[in-house]
Amino acid sequence: MKFENSLAFAQELDQQDPLASFRSRFHFPTFHNENPVYFTGNSLGLQPKTAATYIQEELNAWANYGVEGHFLAKRPWFSYHENLTNMAAKVVGALPIEVVITHSLTTNLHLLMVSFYRPSGKRVKILCEEKAFPSDQYALASQISFHGLPAETLVEVGPRPGEHLIREEDILQKISELGDELALVMIGGVNYYSGQYFDLQKITAAGHAVGAVVGFDLAHAAGNVNLALHNWNVDFAAWCGYKYLNSSPGGVSGLFVHERHAHNKSLPRFAGWWGHNKEVRFQMEPGFDPIPGAEGWQLSNAPVLGMAAHLASLEIFEEAGMERIAQKRDQMTAFLAFLIEDVSVRNEEKCSFEIITPTNPNQRGAQLSILAKGQGKQLFDRLTDLGVIADWREPNVIRIAPAPLYNSYQDCFRFAQYLERAIL
């Protein structure tokens, strides 16, 4: 499609947008501007209006039934998470047995690494991307030291000098180079800083080819990019519910374990009663018998209020459908990139903007990371004052993410207008 930098063009795209009506299902924060451009769905997604209804239902059940809400609530609490499984599995391209909504992201990554990072003999190394999200760096380093191994056990692949993105060929090359020393590949599916979406299928195949286990942190991928975890044979994955999945700050997260591990009761794991055989859980007998599949990694009974928010959001995803979401994501992100480049070219003398996120739609989701050359934080502060809610990373990167469910093409147009106005 040939884009134009005009309000009329953006309005036309909004009129043709089959998902346009979903915008009204979300609360937009108006604390500093009546009509903000909210481009931080990659950090915290907006609140679905139905979240309050669903949370209130559980508060009412708690008030009316007390402990009996576990069985008498409209959605009984003892099995509340089961309401989420099928919808969450669709979002990540998995079978229901492979997915459970539970705990938080870093907790899940640790629990999964307890099972799937089993260093032995010379096969001890973990491969991850350079500058992985700090929580992942800490998690990986602490897993390594937990096994009594030295820090060099963690091997990172980074961009080549002078480049911003990691070349996939370099990841694949490193995997084959490490060969039988490689125990685990654990990479962020979409890089939080650059927005680069790696080829998870190829990475998984390469890891398996050398005998390694392959897992992904999908915090920036779930609800954003097209995923087919089952078909790609990924061993395990975890993601959070509060970014593109709009399910409340610190809300419940997702955990994936491939079907081929579902019945392997000998996998070591940290256990808790919620992962124990449901038929006999309340008999409170000793001896842990894991539920087959991802549910067997649950530790504790479900935090129902957080899950209610997730239910509200997943229902919206179900209705909109990942296919339509993906189509809008690609078109809207391309439109936004076109507008930013247009502003950049016309203002070259004062400031230019380089989008470091890949241009190929198969290698990115909704996020664009913009390098502001010539102007720094001041430009970002002016953008904020004009009504843009975006994200700044030192020394000079602005991260923006138009979320297809609630952002409009006119948001993109207004962002470009404000960006131009913010240039000093």
Ligand X SMILES: Cc1ncc(COP(=O)(O)O)c(C=O)c1O
What's the closest the beta carbon of residue 255 comes to ligand X, in angstroms? Answer: 12
11 burial (CB, 10 Å; 0-12 / 13-18 / 19+) is: middle
Specify the amino acid at residue 125.
Answer: K
Query: Of these, 41, 69, 119, 188, which contacts ligand X (CB under 6 A)?
Result: 188
String of contacts with ligand X for each residue 89-118, x by CB under 6 A: ---------------xxx------------
- In the shown chain, the binding pattern of residues 28 to 47 toward ligand X, with x for contact by CB under 6 A and - for none, equals --------------------
Q: Is residue 240 involved in binding ligand X (CB under 6 A)?
A: yes
Comparing CB distances to ligand X, the nearer of 188 and 290 is 188
Residues 54, 192, 193, 413: which binds ligand X (CB under 6 A)?
Answer: 192
Exposure class string for 50-61: b at 16+ Cβ within 10 A, else e: bbeebbebbeeb
Strand intervals (E) in 332-367: 352-355
Interface stretch with ligand X, choices 176-184, 215-223, 225-233, 274-282 (CB under 6 A): 215-223
Q: Which residue has the tokens 């091997």?
A: 155
Contact present, 159 and 166 (Cβ < 8 Å): yes
Identify which of residues 137 and 347 has a Cβ nearer to ligand X in the complex: 137
Instruction: Please answer whether residues 357 and 336 qualify as being in contact, where contact means their C-beta atoms are separated by less than 8 angstroms.
Output: no
> Closest distance between ligand X and the C-beta of residue 286, in Å?
31
Asked if 136 interacts with ligand X (CB under 6 A), we say yes
Least separation, in Å, of the C-beta of 221 and ligand X?
9
* Smallest separation (angstroms) from ligand X to the CB of 294: 17
Cβ–Cβ < 8 Å for 225, 197: yes
d(CA 101, CA 256): 9
Determine the Cα–Cα distance for residues 274 and 292; give it in Å rounded to an integer.
12
- SS3 annotation, 267-330: CCCCCCHHHECHHHHHHCCCCCCECCCHHHHCCCCCCHHHHHHHHHHHHHHHHHCHHHHHHHHH
Cβ proximity to ligand X, 129 vs 411, nearer residue: 129
- Distance of closest approach, residue 270 Cβ to ligand X, in angstroms: 16
In sequence order, what E strands does 93-191 have? 99-101, 125-129, 154-157, 182-188
Residue nearest to ligand X (CB): 106
Residue 244 near ligand X by CB under 6 A: no
The least CB distance from residue 356 to ligand X, in Å, is 17
Q: Which residues bind ligand X (CB under 6 A)?
A: 104-106, 133, 135-136, 188, 192, 217, 219-220, 240
